[in-house]
Structure 1
């Protein structure tokens, strides 16, 4: 039946699903083991939420379930494309995916540590940066005592590598 003949109150809203972290077309979805576990945990939570999605109003329940299903679809796509990187196989003396890098940034006196992780695991508050970020790209393949330079606007920011570890 044409939607023109459906009562307005019978039309359901299409749920707006926030996009996942950007992963450019053609980019490999690298993840750490912890990153994959986080994705699987998120999936379990959504499945659990779907089972509990009981609303008094049937329409609200359908909308809630549709939203969860849409989130699950995006999440399942990420999980199925995930390529786990074994950190034990990474070169210990070089910055690669999964590395925890100790850096002196610019003229700072105290070092900062960042781990290079997958796009879904990235969280700057937890000092985890995406392997696709400009900083990570500048650090990849560098070794201890190397300096990576990143142009930020009109200034160059230096990142001196003090240590590299994988855990």
Structure 2
């Protein structure tokens, strides 16, 4: 089996994954196992809601724990503050963009496992992030999106200190 490709992630993103893993493994799962064993002791399991729901939730938690474990094992933590080429968009950059109508938006390029579009954090393999990699302030990039092509100009670029 081949080595899984590295999953780039910021230290904060990795810490969030670890915290979720520890919460599920150390707190939620043991409580749930307790509820399931209590419910199992109440006789007929076919109509026992606590037992049925508990088993279903336990499977969900175990799947999520397996996924988080796999992600953390393949994770390669990158510190954007140590980026040597600060005049180009790279992993961890916070980029201010302007579109054709001069609508501004600010995004930070992060690992795919920590992306959250609502808070302006886009995964580094997203089409917009891929189009921006290597751009400098003043560069224009055209991005192919499901709704069609859109042009953006890089008007600001920064990295954490």
Partner residue in 2 for 1:57: 39
Q: Secondary structure at the match of 2:131?
A: helix
Q: Distance in 1 between matches of 2:18 and 2:104?
A: 33
Following superposition of structure 1 onto structure 2, how do residues 2-151 of structure 1 map, counting pairs within 5 Å? 27-47=5-25, 48-53=27-32, 54-55=35-36, 56-58=38-40, 59-60=51-52, 61-90=54-83, 91-108=85-102, 110-151=103-144
- List structure 1 runs of 4+ shifted beyond 3 angstroms: 59-64, 152-155
Give the 3 Å change call, closer, same or farther, for CA 70–155 of structure 1 in structure 2: closer
The TM-score with structure 2 as length reference comes to 0.79
How big is the alpha-carbon RMSD for the aligned residues of Structure 1 and Structure 2? Answer: 2.0
Distance in structure 1 (CA, Å) of the matches to 2:96 and 2:114: 19
Distance in 2 (alpha carbons) for counterparts of 1:66 and 1:149: 43
Stretches of structure 2 that go unaligned for 5 or more consecutive residues are 41-50
Q: Could you say which structure has the higher helix fraction?
A: 2
User: Which sections of structure 1, spanning at least 5 residues, go unmatched?
Assistant: 1-24
- Alpha-carbon distance in 2 for matches of 1:50, 1:124: 29
State how many pairs are aligned.
142
Q: TM-score, normalised by structure 1?
A: 0.77
